[in-house]
Amino acid sequence: MAGHNKWSKIKHRKAVVDKRRGKVWTKCARAIMSAARQGGPDPSANVTLRYAIDEARYANMPKDTIERAIQKGIGEVGAADWEPVRYEGYGPGGVAIVADALTNNRARTVTDLRLIFEKHGGNLGNAGSVGYMFETRGRILIEQSGRADDAMFEGAIEAGAEDIQPPPTSEDNSDEDADRIWTVLSKPTEFQVVKDGLERVGFKIVEAELALVPSTSVEVGVEQARSIIRLIDSLDDNDDVQKVYHNGLIPDEAIEG
């Protein structure tokens, strides 16, 4: 029975991972369709599409699935007309939250998001209510993969990074540290150059996007932080929501709990 129980846990964990990957792929496909519809199917001439394809690639989406999404976007296969919309609001403790969505029904999306905010102790605001607290920057996550810290800094600087943020130092020196994730920030106009430079010097990119980075942060307690995490997770689970950003400083205890 012990072996059966272990296998059940493995199957459950795999099902969760597969479900999560399927949702990520759905969001990537929708972003590709929207970009192709608005700017054409050529990623060399459509920077939004190029970024969307890169995100899909980092999410391990199959090449034929990416191509199918492009064809849907330009109408050769048929697709809904997805439009980008940004929603802004506050979570518990006055934490600013921005949700970028792609929707074919604004009334449905705004109703769903308002309910999510209210359910978790927040409130959906007007356009511009919190957006001024963020700035657009290129954000690239790279694996350390056994490199020394100095080599990480030097490689990122060589690639043109504006700022480099190492991961929190582990209390133990376990082998897991070999795959710690570093954050590389760039100016929006230098995003592609920095990303290409990191790949050229051999860094494995886990994620890369033009992201909203908070210019100010809000400290919250553990219980408020847990409510914020639930709010963000619920927003992220919504099919229309592509990205969620916030300016809360989340205590480790809230994540571990």
Rounded to an integer, what distance in angstroms lies between the CA atom of residue 56 and that of residue 24? 8
What is the mean pLDDT of the segment spanning 77-84?
71
Q: What is the pLDDT of residue 81?
A: 78
What is the mean pLDDT of the segment spanning 175-192?
82
- The overall average pLDDT reported for the chain is 86
Task: Report which residue type is found at 242.
Answer: Q
Q: What is the pLDDT of residues 33-61, one digit of tens each?
A: 999 998 999 999 999 999 999 999 999 99
Q: What is the pLDDT of residues 154-183, one digit of tens each?
A: 999 999 999 999 987 655 444 454 468 999
Res. 224: pLDDT tops 80: yes
What is the mean pLDDT of the segment spanning 215-233?
94
User: Options 3.40.309.10, 3.30.70.980, 3.90.180.10, 3.40.1160.10; which CATH number does 82-257 get?
Assistant: 3.30.70.980
Q: What is the pLDDT of residue 23?
A: 83
Q: What is the pLDDT of residues 91-149, one digit of tens each?
A: 999 999 999 999 999 999 999 999 999 999 999 999 999 999 999 999 999 999 889 99
C-alpha dihedral (144, 150, 155, 157), degrees to nearest 10: 120
Give first-to-last CA distance, the chain, whole Å.
Answer: 29
* pTM of the predicted model as reported, rounded to 2 decimal places: 0.81
Whether CATH 1.10.10.200 fits 2-73: yes
Question: In a 10 Å sphere around its CB, with 0-12 CB exposed, 13-18 middle and 19+ buried, how is residue 16 labelled?
Answer: exposed
Please check whether the two domains, 2-73 and 82-257, share a CATH topology.
no
CB 59 within 8 A of CB 28: yes
Rounded to an integer, what distance in angstroms lies between the CA atom of residue 154 and that of residue 172? 25
Give residue 82's pLDDT band: very low, low, confident or very high (50, 70, 90). Answer: confident
Half-sphere exposure of 43 (CA within 13 A, CB side): 15
The domain locations on the chain are: 2-73, 82-257
> Quick one: which of 208, 206, 207, 201 has its CA closest to 152?
201
Rounded to an integer, what distance in angstroms lies between the CA atom of residue 257 and that of residue 253? 6
Q: What is the pLDDT of residue 252?
A: 83
Q: What is the pLDDT of residue 75?
A: 84
Q: What is the pLDDT of residue 136?
A: 96
Q: Which range (11-15, 49-53, 66-70) has the least confidence? A: 11-15
